[in-house]
Chain A
Amino acid sequence: MTEAAAATAAAAIADPAFHAHRSLWGDVWRQFRAHRGAMIGVAVFTLIALVVLVGPFLHTLDPQFLNMRARNQPMSWAHPFGTDNVGRDMLAQVMAGGRVSLAVGVAAMAISVVLGALVGVLAGYVRWLDGPLMRLTDLFLALPLLPLLLVILLLFRDTLRTAFGPEAGIFLLIVVVIGVTSWMQTARIVRGEVLALKEREFVLAARSIGARPHRIITRHLLPNVLSPIMVSATIGVANAIITESALSFLGLGFPPDFPTWGRLLFDGKDFMTLTPARVIWPGLAISLTVLSVNFIGDGLRDALDPRIRGR
Chain B
Amino acid sequence: MLRFALRRLLVSIPTLLVISFIIFALLDLAPSDPTANLPLTIPPEVREKIRLSLGLGEPFLVRYALWLQQFMINEPLNILEQWTGWTIGDSENRLRVLSWATRSPVVDLIVARLPQTLWVVGMSYVIAVLIAVPIGVISAYRQYSLFDQIGTFVSMLGFSVPTFFTGLLFIMLFSVWLGWLPSIYDTTHVVRDWDSFVFQVRQMLMPTMVLALANASQISRFMRASMLDNLNQDYVRTARAKGMRERTVVLVHVLRNSLIPVVTVIALGVPTIFGGAIITEQIFRVNGIGQLLIVGIESADIPLVQTLTFIFAVLIVLFNLIADLLYGMLDPRIRYD
A residues near B (Cβ < 8 Å) are 37, 138-139, 141-148, 150-152, 154-156, 158-159, 238, 242, 245-246, 249-250, 252, 262, 265, 269, 272-273, 276, 279-280, 283, 286-287, 290-291, 294-295, 298
Contacts and interface: CB of A to CB of B under 8 A. Distances in A.
Contact of A272 (B171, B293, B316, B320): B171
Nearest to A290: B160
Interface in B163-188: 164-165, 168-169, 171-172, 176
A151 B171 contact: no
A242 B15 CA distance: 28
- The majority secondary structure among interface residues of chain B is helix
B280 to A, nearest CB: 11
Given A245-B162, A290-B161, 5 more contacts: A143-B19, A151-B27, A158-B32, A283-B165, A295-B156
B168 A279 contact: yes
Given A138-B15, A269-B168, A283-B165, A148 B309 contact: yes
B148 to A, nearest CB: 13
Interface of B: 15, 18-19, 22-23, 26-27, 30-32, 153, 156-157, 159-162, 164-165, 168-169, 171-172, 176, 271, 275-276, 278-279, 282-283, 293-294, 297, 300, 305, 308-309, 312-313, 315-317, 320
B278 A155 contact: no
Given A155-B31, A272-B172, A291-B161, A146 B300 contact: no
A144 B271 contact: yes
Contact of B160 (A154, A238, A272): A238
Main secondary structure on A side of the interface with B: helix
Given A265-B168, A294-B156, A151 B309 contact: yes
Contacts of B159: 294
Contacts of A262: 164
Nearest to B167: A269
Contact of B172 (A249, A276, A290): A276
Nearest to A246: B279
B164 A246 contact: yes
A248 to B, nearest CB: 10
A223 to B, nearest CB: 28
Given A142-B15, A265-B164, A294-B160, A151 B317 contact: no
Contacts of B283: 269
A147 B168 contact: no
B290 to A, nearest CB: 9
A151 B293 CA distance: 10
Nearest to B29: A155
Contacts of A144: 271, 275, 309, 312-313, 315-316
A238 B153 CA distance: 17
A28 B31 CA distance: 50
Nearest to B161: A287
A154 B31 CA distance: 10
Contacts of B176: 272-273, 276
Contacts of A147: 275, 278, 293, 305, 308-309, 312
Contact of B169 (A141, A146, A283, A294): A283
Contacts of B278: 146-147, 250
B165 A148 contact: no
A291 B32 contact: no
Most chain B C-beta atoms within 10 Å of own C-beta, residue among A148, A269, A280, A290: A148
B32 A155 contact: yes
Nearest to A144: B312
Given A144-B271, A144-B275, A139 B172 contact: no
A249 B226 CA distance: 35
A269 B282 CA distance: 12
A286 B165 contact: yes
A116 B23 CA distance: 22
B160 A152 contact: no
Contacts of A279: 165, 168-169, 172
Nearest to A138: B15
B313 A142 contact: yes
6 tightest A-B CB contacts, nearest first: A144-B312, A155-B30, A283-B165, A291-B160, A287-B161, A290-B160
B164 A249 contact: yes
A152 to B, nearest CB: 7
A86 B317 CA distance: 47
A239 to B, nearest CB: 11
Contacts of A150: 293-294, 297
